Amino acid sequence: MSKLAEAIKADTIKAMKAKEKLRVDTLRMVTAAIQNKKIEKREELSEDEVLSVLMTLSKQRKDSIEQFTKGGRDDLADKETAELAIIQGYLPAQLGEDEVREVVKEVIAATGATSPGDMGKVMGQVMGRLKGKADGKMINAMVRELLGA
């Protein structure tokens, strides 16, 4: 079992003892998602795969927050925001806009990309370098901007 998955299980037990209902529920949901991925893959997950599950859950929460806010359901948006904060506690620190912009510029220079048609080539390399460290939507918007799309 990966260190990250072990940390999540240990934190679940701590949260149970402290009677932190939201934290327990969120960590159980995370553990279930990790377990489902493990069953799907039929072997133990690597640290990167556990991180990928956490990133997926984080993205789902962000999308839900956006939808609930649009729908006027602030109560549900608040719950999702609290869950997102717990999940993000296990993700690596996110890079700022300036740092992401520098990486995107480096990749554009290295690949020789000049037009929006080269976006796939650039996105693949940038996402590989920044996996888990930056939001995909932000990266996509920056690549579009810098390639003049």
pLDDT band at 67 (very low <50, low <70, confident <90, very high): very high
Instruction: Return contacts of 72-77, CB within 8 angstroms, 24+ apart.
Output: none
- pTM for this predicted structure: 0.79
pLDDT value of residue 18: 97
Question: For residues 99 and 16, what is the distance between their CA atoms, to the nearest angstrom?
Answer: 38
99: left (phi over 0), alpha (psi -120 to 50) or beta: alpha
- Is 82 a residue whose pLDDT tops 70? yes
Per DSSP, the residues of 102-149 read HHHHHHHHHHT--SGGGHHHHHHHHHHHTTTTS-HHHHHHHHHHHHT-
pLDDT digits (tens, 9 = 90+) for 93-125: 888 888 999 999 999 999 888 888 888 889 989
- What is the location of CATH 1.10.1510.10 in the chain? 3-88
- What is the location of CATH 1.10.10.410 in the chain? 97-147
- CATH second-level architecture of 97-147? Orthogonal Bundle (1.10)
pLDDT value of residue 149: 63
The class of domain 3-88 in CATH terms is: mainly alpha
